[in-house]
């Protein structure tokens, strides 16, 4: 079960308040399974139920001490079980609100005592609890990728307290002296594995590991030098097995080889004559290992480049060999003609081996050879995965990153050009991060050479596609440097060789914006961009006419606009006006990002007004008819939806025929488009003209058809839209004819609270406008009981919507009788202590309506609903005042309720409301005071006589 909760259960993200289980069907199912198991444990395993836990289960409970009966010693704020352990310690101890339980038996009893709150108690218990899922880290640290914690005591250093995580290993703050707890805060850099960290921190460990590697290499070499003495049949079998698996084995061996060869980073140097490979002296060199692997000779594989290009590459390789032979006497022994090698894997194209040979020259050539090798590598199709893996498998990534730390600009440029291309591969970019490439690239952003800045920023843009990369860029100061590139003309110095190394200022800014766009998917990076002054610079760049500049700039703003701080800054910089203008661009990608930025910003009413004032609504309406690009259509419909939440904008959309265009999009569209289209129609249908347009254009039927879907967001929006349409009798007749009300009713069983709530809200106008609402509602088998049971929900939006539905259902006396029999009065009474004004209003309306049957007025008083209702009169919401006064007026028909109202100060509060401009509130308040006064007079009269 611990594994299920950790791997399957859905938890809220770390860093945003207390970590908790989300309200999802999966979580609810898991919790219910746990409850069933625990409740039945005491019956199925009575002996085991008495075992005492080593450590108690502890959580904050909502149970009141008064809920505990026989078997417990109860006071006002504490509860102790009479059942105790051998040390006379109670197995249950409650000190409000903290509860401690030390056996399954007591746990079973508590869940039974909790009755309707079982789910809540089980959830609270699980959210403090530590699970065993193979990780030694507590759950709140597992979310951050931590696995376990290790104490290491080297001979020559202090004891090291180490955190092992998915990112790597690092030193933490160690154990605290007083409680033995771990200080989880990271101290120092992250290492790729434990061995690397220990080598760094202990000279003895480093020396021992090096000796062990030498011995291991010697043993492997001895094994290779020994003749093969296996029987002929066994050798044949091995050859057969090797042929069957050579593709995967070759790749795995090369990856392993690359890692072992490059364990130690190459030191940056321009003294290329000293960085040479000697195949005969170094038996573990890459080329020798490849020759052993391929049997000494490479067969020609199928060509995948043009003959002219292949010839050019061969000539370049020959030129490199010539340069190396001139610069080093050892290289004559090192080099062998290509036909001495043999390729046993025909699946790999010739480029794979040619690139690997070029990588070898990068490692072992002089400066000129290195530059030529870099140029030759760029002649290959580096977008092809085979070429990318060829570089990685032979340790080329390490070499390319190492070249970035040299002083030679040509080598840096060549290396970055290659890294920029191959970093489109997801695995390659992770390897680059693992090898520490991002900090090196961030440092290059300070270079005086603009071309280097551009290449570094573009490569960062490709690599920074996942969380670790975003964090690495930020932690090494990359965000500030990238923001500075947006204004690089003010900071750049003039280098000596402008023609070779310079780029246009606009190109530098474009590349900086590209990198920021990638990094801005992280909340922390968004904040870093804002603090670094990125918004004014992005606003300035928006004024350019170059679309290749505008796309990354708008893309960055689109990502950042999800945060409220950004939206305020975007308004202040008058960016909305520019975004609206760019909607009229011919570039579809630019239109998409502008629409997405407007969608994000239009959460704010002032922004929606700005979009209208600058002509953005007309542009959005015209783009609704362009359905060929679905990504752009999703962005445009999203912006239309958000803008339509303002009444004035709906009027404009109606003028621009946007409602008709939206209805046309209700069929044959992806779900992400449908969510936005239906959301916009729901807003437009709040006005009668919009409802009429949707009905006349045939939009009601496709809306009802969408009720059978499973997309959560779509169901929420479509129920709202249908509820709005149902306010018009003609549309309601269509909904009823299409069985739409039954479909809405069935959504009350949906596991998602927001879908339930939206469906319940939609049912209210349906019941109001149906021809025979009472009979229609009763026709749903078990429907009334379902609605009443929803009052047991702990979601306030669901409760408010269900109360509103009950108010409408209870207008029919027969239905009111049925829901009364199903226990609506005690459930409504139980909710009376709420302090949410929306729920208060609809709850008071439901109570008022339910008072009109039988002895419900008396029952509400018996269930102690009256005194909490009086407190509603202290709210600042007039709607709450009106509904409460009406409910109190109905309840005041019972004498005992009048007494309760008087004792709780209702008269004084109601007297203020008699003078309200709201006529319904006036009448209800006066009527309630009249009933209380009548009771008082009758009491005085009885005393007098």
Q: Where are the alpha helices (DSSP H) in 894-918?
A: 895-903, 906-913
Partnered with residue 93 across adjacent β-strands are: 80, 100
Taking residues 424-447, what's their average pLDDT? 93
Q: What is the pLDDT of residues 294-306, one digit of tens each?
A: 433 333 333 333 4
The per-residue pLDDT for 70 is: 82
List CB contacts of 607: < 8 A, sequence separation 6 or more.
567, 570, 571, 576, 598, 601
User: What gap in Å lies between CA 804 and CA 798, rounded to an integer?
Assistant: 10
Contact 338, 255 (CB under 8 A): no
Choose between 89 and 648: higher pLDDT. Answer: 648
Taking residues 659-683, what's their average pLDDT? 95
The per-residue pLDDT for 186 is: 84
User: What gap in Å lies between CA 144 and CA 146, rounded to an integer?
Assistant: 6
Whose CA is closest to 170, among 133, 135, 201, 139? Answer: 201
The per-residue pLDDT for 236 is: 41
* Percent of all residues in the chain with a pLDDT value above 70, rounded to a whole number: 78
Q: What is the pLDDT of residues 715-762, one digit of tens each?
A: 999 999 999 999 999 999 999 999 999 999 999 999 999 999 999 999
In DSSP notation, 607-636 reads HHHHHHHTTHHHHHHHHTT--S-HHHHHHH
Taking residues 584-603, what's their average pLDDT? 92
Helix axes 753-769, 712-725, angle to 10 degrees: 20
| Burial class of residue 72 (count of CB atoms within 10 Å of its CB; 0-12, 13-18, 19+) | buried
Residue with tokens 């011995």: 215
Which of 163-167, 257-261, 692-696 is predicted least confidently? 257-261
List CB contacts of 886: < 8 A, sequence separation 6 or more.
844, 845, 848, 920, 924
Q: For residue 37, count other CB atoms closer than 10 A to its CB.
A: 13
In DSSP notation, 101-140 reads E-SHHHHHHHHHHHGGGHHHHHHHHHTTPPP-SS--S-HH
User: What gap in Å lies between CA 905 and CA 916, rounded to an integer?
Assistant: 19
List CB contacts of 482: < 8 A, sequence separation 6 or more.
445, 457, 460, 473, 512, 515, 516, 519
What order do you get walking across the sheet with 160-165 strand by strand? Answer: 146-152, 160-165, 169-172, 186-191
Contact 554, 600 (CB under 8 A): no
Q: What is the pLDDT of residues 536-576, one digit of tens each?
A: 999 999 888 888 899 999 999 999 988 888 888 888 888 99
Please state the φ and ψ torsions of residue 187, each to the nearest 5 degrees.
Answer: -120, 105
The per-residue pLDDT for 119 is: 81
- In this prediction the pTM is 0.63
Residue 599 confidence (pLDDT) above 60: yes
Cis peptide before 53 (omega within 30 of 0): no
Contact 893, 856 (CB under 8 A): no
Q: How many CA atoms lie within 13 Å of 886's alpha carbon, on the beta-carbon side?
A: 23
Taking residues 836-853, what's their average pLDDT? 95
Contact 408, 442 (CB under 8 A): no
């Amino acid at each position: 079960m611990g594994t299920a909760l950790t791997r399957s259960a859905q938890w809220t993200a770390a860093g945003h308040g207390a970590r908790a289980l989300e309200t999802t069907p999966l979580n609810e199912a898991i919790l219910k399974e746990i409850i069933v198991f625990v409740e039945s444990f005491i019956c199925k395993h009575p002996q085991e139920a008495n075992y005492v836990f080593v450590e108690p289960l502890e959580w904050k409970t909502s149970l009141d001490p008064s809920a505990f009966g026989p078997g417990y010693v109860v006071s006002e704020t504490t509860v102790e079980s009479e059942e105790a352990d051998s040390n006379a310690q109670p197995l249950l101890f409650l000190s409000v609100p903290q509860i401690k339980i030390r056996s399954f038996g007591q746990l079973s009893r508590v869940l039974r005592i909790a009755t309707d709150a079982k789910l809540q108690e089980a959830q609270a218990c699980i959210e403090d609890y530590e699970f065993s899922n193979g990780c030694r880290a507590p759950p709140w640290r597992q979310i951050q990728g931590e696995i376990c914690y290790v104490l290491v005591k080297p001979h020559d250093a202090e004891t090291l307290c180490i955190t092992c995580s998915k990112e790597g290993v690092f030193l933490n703050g160690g154990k605290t002296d007083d409680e033995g707890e771990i200080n989880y805060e990271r101290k120092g850099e992250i290492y790729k594995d434990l061995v690397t960290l220990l080598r760094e921190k202990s000279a003895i460990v480093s020396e021992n590991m090096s000796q062990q590697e030498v011995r291991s290499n010697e043993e492997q070499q001895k094994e290779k030098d020994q003749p093969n003495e296996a029987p002929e049949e066994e050798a044949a079998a091995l050859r057969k097995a090797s042929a069957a698996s050579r593709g995967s084995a070759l790749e795995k061996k090369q990856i392993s080889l690359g890692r072992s060869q490059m364990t130690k980073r190459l030191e940056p140097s321009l003294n290329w004559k000293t960085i040479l490979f000697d195949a005969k002296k170094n038996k573990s060199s890459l080329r020798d290992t490849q020759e052993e692997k391929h049997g000494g000779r490479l067969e020609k594989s199928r060509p995948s480049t043009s003959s002219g290009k292949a010839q050019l590459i061969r000539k370049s390789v020959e030129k490199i060999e010539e340069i190396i032979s001139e610069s080093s006497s050892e290289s004559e022994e090192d080099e062998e003609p290509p036909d001495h090698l043999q390729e046993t894997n025909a699946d790999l194209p010739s480029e794979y081996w040619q690139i690997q040979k070029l990588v070898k020259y990068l490692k072992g050539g002089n400066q000129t050879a290195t530059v030529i090798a870099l140029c030759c590598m760029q002649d290959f199709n580096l977008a092809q995965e085979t070429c990318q893996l060829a570089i990685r498998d032979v340790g080329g990534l390490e070499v390319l990153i190492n070249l970035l730390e040299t002083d030679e600009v040509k080598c840096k440029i060549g290396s970055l050009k290659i890294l920029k291309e191959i970093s489109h591969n997801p695995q390659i970019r992770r390897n680059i991060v693992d090898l520490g490439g991002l900090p090196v690239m961030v440092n290059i952003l300070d270079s005086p050479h603009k071309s280097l800045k551009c290449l570094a920023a573009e490569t960062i843009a490709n690599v920074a596609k996942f969380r670790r990369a975003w964090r690495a860029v930020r932690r090494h100061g990359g965000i500030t440097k990238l923001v500075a590139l947006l204004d690089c003309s003010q900071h750049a110095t003039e280098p000596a060789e402008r023609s070779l190394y310079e780029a246009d200022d606009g190109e530098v800014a474009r590349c900086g914006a590209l990198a920021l766009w990638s990094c801005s998917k992280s909340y922390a990076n968004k904040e870093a961009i804002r603090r670094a002054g990125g918004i004014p610079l992005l606003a300035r760049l928006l004024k350019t006419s170059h679309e290749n500049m505008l796309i990354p700039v708008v893309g960055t703003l689109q990502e950042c606009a999800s945060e409220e701080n950004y939206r305020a800054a975007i308004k202040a910089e008058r960016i909305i006006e520019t975004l609206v203008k760019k909607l009229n661009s011919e570039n579809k990608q630019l239109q998409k990002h502008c629409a997405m930025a407007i969608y994000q910003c239009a959460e704010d009413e002032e922004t929606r007004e700005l979009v209208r004032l600058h002509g953005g609504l007309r542009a959005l309406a015209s783009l609704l008819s362009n359905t060929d690009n679905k990504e752009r259509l999703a962005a445009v419909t999203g912006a239309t939806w958000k803008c339509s939440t303002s009444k004035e904008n709906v009027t404009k959309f109606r003028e621009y025929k946007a409602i008709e265009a939206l209805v046309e999009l209700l069929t044959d569209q992806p779900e992400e488009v449908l969510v936005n289209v239906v959301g916009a129609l729901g807003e437009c249908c709040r006005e009668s003209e919009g409802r009429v347009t949707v009905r006349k254009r045939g939009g009601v039927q496709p809306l009802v058809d969408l009720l059978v879907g499973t997309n959560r967001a779509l169901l929420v929006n479509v129920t709202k839209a249908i509820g709005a349409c149902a306010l018009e009798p003609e549309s309601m007749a269509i909904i009823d004819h299409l069985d739409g009300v039954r479909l809405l009713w069935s959504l009350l069983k949906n596991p998602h609270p927001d879908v339930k709530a939206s469906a319940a809200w939609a049912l209210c106008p349906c019941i109001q406008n149906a021809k025979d609402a009472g009979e229609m509602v009763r026709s749903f088998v078990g429907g009334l009981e379902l609605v009443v049971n929803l009052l047991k929900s702990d979601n306030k939006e669901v409760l408010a919507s269900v109360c509103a539905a009950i108010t409408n259902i209870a207008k029919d006396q027969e239905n009111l009788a049925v829901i009364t029999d199903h226990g609506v009065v005690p459930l409504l009474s139980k909710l009376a202590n709420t302090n949410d004004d929306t729920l208060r209003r609809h709850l008071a309306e439901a109570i008022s309506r339910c008072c009109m049957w039988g002895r419900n007025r008396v029952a509400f008083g018996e269930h102690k609903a009256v005194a909490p209702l009086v407190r509603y009169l202290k709210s600042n919401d007039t709607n709450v005042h009106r509904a409460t006064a009406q409910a109190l007026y109905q309840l005041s028909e019972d004498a005992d309720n009048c007494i309760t109202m008087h004792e709780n100060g209702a008269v004084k509060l109601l007297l203020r409301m008699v003078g309200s401009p709201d006529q319904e509130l006036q009448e209800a308040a006066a009527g309630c005071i009249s009933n209380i006064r009548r009771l008082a007079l009758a009491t005085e009269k009885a005393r007098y006589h």
